[in-house]
């Protein structure tokens, strides 16, 4: 399979990239790691007039700890995140989720910005962004703005980014020291996109659960934050009954669609099962089980 003909540009700065995208007025496409875009081009599902390649913009690749926040340049490779010490220490949920993204060659090229901008509902990074209350910084012709996950993700493979916008940074608040966490997912083969995935973070104080965070991948058109399931744990604690109740509530909160991989009912049931598993494993990490 070969891609359709396109103009190719390799800008050296974000401003230059925005000017190019503006010049092509919606007919330009950003290239990051190419792990999702190149198959779309090769299958001719996307036919942009121009490719604007961000790989030459060195200032877009970094991992920085800054005032309770880890900031990732959009072009930071998933492989860099997998091996980052600061991510292992401050955002272990992200390290765990990264190991579930495709295979090694995909993570070597794939970027955090590309994964989030692509907005595949089954992808791990959008779920982590949602679970951790992260934000993304977007630059476009009218300046810079910061978006929450609900402001960003609209539906399958669709975000609120305009054709001239570039996602430049991902910001994730550091996890509380001693927090329990787990990313549980089910896929047919290792490395495949998840049929459903659940990200969980628990912070405890004695027998209380002070903070619970739960978000799904693959259980609807966008990642779903399971707030009222979290509330059960924050109110009732982390015993077996509360975990089962939170998992049951999680299944009620999602609105999955059926597709060739799984029916809607199956995805709903998986949400319940994986929420229970993720919470129990998160508890183990807190030394509670």
Ligand X SMILES: Cc1cc2nc3c(=O)[nH]c(=O)nc-3n(C[C@H](O)[C@H](O)[C@H](O)COP(=O)(O)OP(=O)(O)OC[C@H]3O[C@@H](n4cnc5c(N)ncnc54)[C@H](O)[C@@H]3O)c2cc1C
Interface positions with ligand X (CB under 6 A)? 29-37, 74, 101-102, 106, 109-111, 113-115, 117-118, 120, 123-125, 161, 166-167, 193
Handedness of CA 10, 11, 13, 18 (dihedral sign): negative
C-beta closer to ligand X: residue 60 or 175 = 60
CB of 39 vs ligand X, minimal distance in Å: 6
Instruction: Measure Cα distances from 273 to 35, 49, 264 in Å.
Output: 30, 45, 14
* Alpha-carbon span 250 to 263, nearest angstrom: 17
* Alpha-carbon span 40 to 175, nearest angstrom: 35
C-beta closer to ligand X: residue 112 or 247 = 112
**DSSP-derived 3-state class of residue 235:** helix
**DSSP-derived 3-state class of residue 19:** helix
C-beta closer to ligand X: residue 24 or 193 = 193
C-beta closer to ligand X: residue 16 or 234 = 16
CB of 213 vs ligand X, minimal distance in Å: 19
Q: Are 262 and 270 in contact (CB under 8 A)?
A: yes
C-beta closer to ligand X: residue 163 or 173 = 163
CB of 151 vs ligand X, minimal distance in Å: 15
CB of 75 vs ligand X, minimal distance in Å: 7
C-beta closer to ligand X: residue 108 or 211 = 108
CB of 253 vs ligand X, minimal distance in Å: 22
CB atoms within 10 A of CB 46: 16
Residue 100 bridge partners (DSSP): none
Residue of 156, 117, 168, 173 whose CA lies nearest to 256:
156
CB of 12 vs ligand X, minimal distance in Å: 16
């Amino acid at each position: 399979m070969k891609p359709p003909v396109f103009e190719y540009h390799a800008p050296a700065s974000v401003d230059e990239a925005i000017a190019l995208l503006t010049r092509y007025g919606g007919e330009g496409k950003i290239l990051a790691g190419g792990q999702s875009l190149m198959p779309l081009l090769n299958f001719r599902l996307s036919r942009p007039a121009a490719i604007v390649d961000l790989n030459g913009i060195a200032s877009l690749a970094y991992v920085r700890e800054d005032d309770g926040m880890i900031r990732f340049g959009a072009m930071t490779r998933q492989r860099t995140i997998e091996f980052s010490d600061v991510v292992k220490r401050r955002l272990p949920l992200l390290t765990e989720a990264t190991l579930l993204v495709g295979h090694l060659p995909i993570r070597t090229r794939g970027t955090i910005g590309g994964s989030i901008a692509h907005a595949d509902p089954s992808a791990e990074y959008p779920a982590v962004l949602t679970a951790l209350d992260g934000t993304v910084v977007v630059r476009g012709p009218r300046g810079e703005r910061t978006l929450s996950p609900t402001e960003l993700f609209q539906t399958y493979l669709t975000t609120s980014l305009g054709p001239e916008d570039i996602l430049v940074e991902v910001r994730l608040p550091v996890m509380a020291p001693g927090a329990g966490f787990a990313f549980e997912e089910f896929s047919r083969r290792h490395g495949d996109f998840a049929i459903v995935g659940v990200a969980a973070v628990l912070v405890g104080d004695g027998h209380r659960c002070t903070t619970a965070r739960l978000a799904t991948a693959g259980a609807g058109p966008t990642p779903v934050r399971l707030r009222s399931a979290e509330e059960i744990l924050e109110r009732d604690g982390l015993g077996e009954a509360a975990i089962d109740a939170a998992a049951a509530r999680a299944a009620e909160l999602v609105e999955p669609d059926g597709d060739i991989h799984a029916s809607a009912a199956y995805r709903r049931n998986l949400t319940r099962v994986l929420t229970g598993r993720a919470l129990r494993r998160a508890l183990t990490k807190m030394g509670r089980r």
